[in-house]
Amino acid sequence: MNYYIVTKAVFESLTSISINFAHKSQDGSKWIITTGDVLDNTLVTFNNTSELSTYSFNNHAEWTGDGDGIEEWEVEETEYLSGL
């Protein structure tokens, strides 16, 4: 699995079938996604779910707005597109 932050434009160019998990930033300009695809045009690439989760907690105002981040289990076990 690959873990990325991409722009809205990149996200909208992807096919939804290739996305396992997605979460939109508070302002709607970026997406955290997991996919089996390898993407070149990303803003941030994470090595694993733990790094992605830690980033979201450290930058919670941008991603959740409630002082929390995205839990690892949410990324690993949830099969939905948050924010669509």
Q: How far apart (Å, rounded) are the C-alpha atoms in residues 18 and 14?
A: 7
> Which pLDDT does position 81 carry in this prediction?
55
> Which pLDDT does position 10 carry in this prediction?
96
> Which pLDDT does position 28 carry in this prediction?
95
Lowest-pLDDT choice from 45-54, 60-69, 72-81: 72-81
Give pLDDT tens digits for 3-55.
999 999 999 999 888 899 999 999 999 999 999 999 999 999 999 999 999 99
CA dist list (Å): 47 to 2, 20, 50, 52, 57 = 7, 16, 8, 8, 16
State the alpha helices, DSSP H only, in 1-80.
Answer: 8-13, 49-58, 60-63, 72-77
Q: How far apart (Å, rounded) are the C-alpha atoms in residues 24 and 12?
A: 12
> Which pLDDT does position 80 carry in this prediction?
53
- The answer to whether the CB of 2 falls within 8 A of the CB of 35 is yes
Query: Residue 47: which domain range?
Result: 2-82
> Which pLDDT does position 15 carry in this prediction?
86
Number of independent structural domains in the chain = 1
